[in-house]
Amino acid sequence: MVSKILKRSLWVLFVLGFYFQGFAGNVAPQVGKEMPKFLLPLPKSKIERKYLGVSDKKNNFTISDIKSDVVIVEIFSMYCPHCQRHAPTVNKLYDEIQKDPELKKRIKIVGIGIGNSQYEVDFFRKKYKIQFPLIPDGEFKIYKEIGVKRTPYFIAVKRDKDGKSVVFYSKPGGFDDHKEFLKNIVKLSGIKTEK
């Protein structure tokens, strides 16, 4: 089992390197621009679908379909050591949002596993006790559309008056202080809070 995972991880690293070179011309989502409208597979979990506020009647959804003022998208890979190291901090961010009655209605988090199958995403979820939805991108379709060159990568979008998701944060790398990151997201998004 372990050697199988090791072989798979080496293969994924090779493929990721190939894709990083092959799509070097793509540009990651730019601040002030609309988030690309790629399709995400509907989460199997009813709890995750309810958290995102997406319809059970479709097979796919977009970031704009998520019922929230702000959506934080984490681009990760199960095989990325930085993603593994930052998973507990991202969990703290999720917990910080969930314990605030106002913010938990206005900010949602979703992870997209680049090059990861459903099995690999589920493995990452279980190992790092992730509570927010993780979506597989096993065939690199989303990766090709958004042009992110490394993981982890964080994108935050805010819904505008026309219902479009506009990027206001787009940066590679993790963050060390989940409270400071959240404070920055609230400030940059311009959402009003009672605090």
Q: Which domains does the chain have, with CATH numbers?
A: 2-189 (3.40.30.10)
pLDDT for res 56:
84
Distance CA 158, CA 72 (A): 9
pLDDT of residue 20: 43
- Confidence band, pLDDT 50/70/90 cuts, at residue 148: confident
Q: Which pLDDT tens digit goes with each residue over 90-123?
A: 999 999 999 999 999 999 999 999 999 999 999 9
Expressed in percent and rounded to 5, the helix, strand and coil fractions of the chain are 40, 20, 40
Q: Which residues contact 68 (CB under 8 A, 6 or more apart)?
A: 52, 53, 105, 106, 107, 108, 159
Q: What is the mean pLDDT of residues 47-67?
A: 92
pLDDT confidence of 174, banded at 50, 70, 90? very high
Residue 81 has pLDDT above 80, yes or no: yes
Structure tokens at 90: 């991202």
Query: What gap in Å lies between CA 73 and CA 185, rounded to an integer?
Result: 12
Distance (Å, rounded) from C-alpha 36 to C-alpha 39? 9
pLDDT at 14 over 70: no
State the CB neighbour count (10 A cutoff) for residue 37.
12
- pLDDT, one tens digit per residue, over 125-142 is 999 999 999 999 999 988
